[in-house]
Structure formats: C-alpha cells, structure tokens
Amino acid sequence: MSALPDVTDESCRTALAAFERHAVRTTFDTGRYVMRLATWGQGPPLVIIHGLSDAVRGFAMVMHHLAEHFTCIAYELPNGLDDGAKLGAYRHRDFAADLFALLDHLKLDRVALLGSSFGTTVALAALAAVPQRFTKCVLKGGFAYRPLKWYERLGARQGRYWTGRLCELPFREFAMRRADPATWSGCSPLSCALFLRCNGHTPIRAACRRAVALDTLDLRPVLPTIHTPVLLISGDRDRIVPRAREAVLANHLPDVRRVEFVDCGHYPQYTHPRATADAVANFLGE
C-alpha cells in the first residue's frame, strides 16, 4: 500500500469532536496504577497502546474511522504524576501485565492489538507471553530492539528524576522537527497542534523511564515464537525507527505482512489517519 498524507484541519476537528461526544472515559486500578481508558465504537475489540510520549487522544482520528466496525479501547500508559504509578519500580514486563489486567477487568478473552512505537514492544511481549489472548496484531513504527544513542541515553537517564512535562523543555519543538521532519510537513495545522499537545502533556520522568527501559530491551529471541498474524505499518521517512530496526520484525515473525506510507514519518496517526485506519480494518477483516 502507498498513501500520501490525508489529514486536514476539517477531518481532525470532526474526529476530535466525535471523540469527545462518543468515547466513554473510565478508570481502572491495575494494582500498579490507575489506568485511564477510552472506549469508542462497536464490533470486535481492538486495544490500542500508544507510544513513548503520546496519548490516547493522538489516536482519535484513527479511531474515528474504525469505530463503526470495531470497539476501540485505548488506554494511557502509567505516568507517575497523577495516577499512583511508582515508576522507579516499573519493569518492561509490568506494562504487559497491565494490559492483561485490563483484559481481565473488561472480561475480554481475545482481542486484536494496535501498538505504536514503544507500545509495539508491549504488544510483542504480550503476544509472546499469552498468545491465545490475541487474534491479530498491528505494529505501527515497530521494533524489537532499539538501544539508545549515547546522547539519548544521557538525556533519558538524567530526565528520570525531573519534574514537569515535556512541553516545559526548552527547544522541544526544534528537537522534534529535527528528529521527524516528515511528520511536521505532513500534518495539517490542527493535527500538528494535537501532536504537540499529546507529546507535551507527557511527564518528563515517564517518557525518560520508558526510554531507559528500551535501552536494554531485546525481544528478538521471542519473535520466532509469535505465531499471531501481524501487520507492520511504517513510514518511508521514519527516522526514529529506521527501516533496519523494523526489518528485524519482518524477517523473524512467522506470520507477517507490511504496508508503507509515502511522505510519512514515525506518526502516521497524525499525518495519514485514514490510510492507517484502512490498513488496520483491511487486515483485521481478512
């Protein structure tokens, strides 16, 4: 599949209004934190796990296209600021444990998954641990192994102890533009504002602790054991997860297919929301 950016201010505004009107917001105590989740739509359940510095609202445009045919369940990762999470005690396996706690709470025996960036590692860990709970899985900007660059490691280790949110960091927008220019050029003004809001609302220490967890994470050994059908969604201009990192998934997952969007960076949910939703719906409907 090849698709150009398809977001407009009008489509973004419509999706956000529909999200506010129709998505049901609830909370649930996993035993490690008070999880915030949004449920929207009807049909088979699709659980959405956002990325390292993103939020549920960042998937509003994608869910808007999917809600007619799927029950979208998107939840916030622990932030340690206002949800009771003790981030210093969190290990990567705890993120998957939170997912299973959610499924048990909602009494869902089997679901489809959509993981985004950091969320793809949570999805992969869950698929490897209890595969019978999942029908299919979509990995957007996915990877099994991505150690930090030296400067990323330095910043993440220091940031584990900082207060505040990412929006308070100096030069944040400059750094984001340098890291992922395709997202900036592909967003409409309103979707860009949504992107900045979802990123900026993330507590600094939460983002940094997630990054530190990735630095030593290596899921490559479990990939051949995952037989759940997987769809990879990627951007042709993704600088955050280079093609070589994603190729590990394509080469070692037993049942995998891939779509790539044109003029797309790491965040197609903001630049290619319709194409993303179409790819997900087509895959889950096979």
Phi-psi region of 72 (alpha: psi -120 to 50; beta: other; left: phi over 0): beta
Instruction: Look at the domain 9-285 and name its fold.
Output: Rossmann fold (3.40.50)
Angle between helix axes 204-215 and 150-159 (nearest 10 degrees) is 130
Q: What is the pLDDT of residues 209-224, one digit of tens each?
A: 999 999 999 999 999 9
pTM for the full model? 0.97
Closest CA to 215 of 269, 279, 162, 143: 143
C-alpha 216/C-alpha 194 separation (Å) is: 31
Token pair, residue 125, equals 């860990």
Token pair, residue 78, equals 């622990």
Give the phi and the psi of residue 101 in degrees, each rounded to 5: -60, -40
C-alpha 247/C-alpha 213 separation (Å) is: 21
Q: What is the pLDDT along the chain (286 residues), one digit of tens a residue?
A: 557 899 999 999 999 999 999 999 999 999 999 999 999 999 999 999 999 999 999 999 999 999 999 999 999 999 999 999 999 999 999 999 999 999 999 999 999 999 999 999 999 999 999 999 999 999 999 999 999 998 889 999 999 999 999 999 999 999 999 999 999 999 999 999 999 999 999 999 999 999 999 999 999 999 999 999 999 999 999 999 999 999 999 999 999 999 999 999 999 999 999 999 999 999 999 7
